[in-house]
Amino acid sequence: MSISHQLEEATREAEYIVRWVTYVDHPEKRNETYPVRSKKDLKGTPIQAHTSSHSKKASALARAKELLDGGEDFGSEFTSKVEVFQKLANGKTRQIMKTVERERGDDGKIRTR
């Protein structure tokens, strides 16, 4: 089997994983029906880790862009970290988008670090 055929086959069988962290910096602003059930970071602030799986790279990158554009940012929480990985059929994983971290400034605006 040629190398190009092997690469094509590996890409076709790849799974793309988007991982992101939600930073709950104002839990008091959350609706009572949506309590904070999460781990805490070193400062004691609640954080929640999430993943989504995609069969196409473009779909995974679009989801990452949506998150980085504020698609899940609210007054109570925001997406603080986004990463995209490719998981091949043989179990190997490689990062295809560098980790992007965000923070909420004193003015309330969310910025990329």
Delimit the domains of the chain by residue range.
3-104
Indicate the range of 23-27, 61-65, 107-111 predicted with least confidence.
Answer: 23-27
Per-residue pLDDT of 17-49, as tens digits, reads: 999 999 888 878 877 766 666 666 656 667 788
**Average pLDDT in the chain:** 85
pTM value surpassing 0.85: no
Q: Is there a contact between 29 and 62 (Cβ–Cβ < 8 Å)? A: no
One-letter amino acid of 96: I
The span from the CA of 88 to the CA of 100, in Å, is: 22
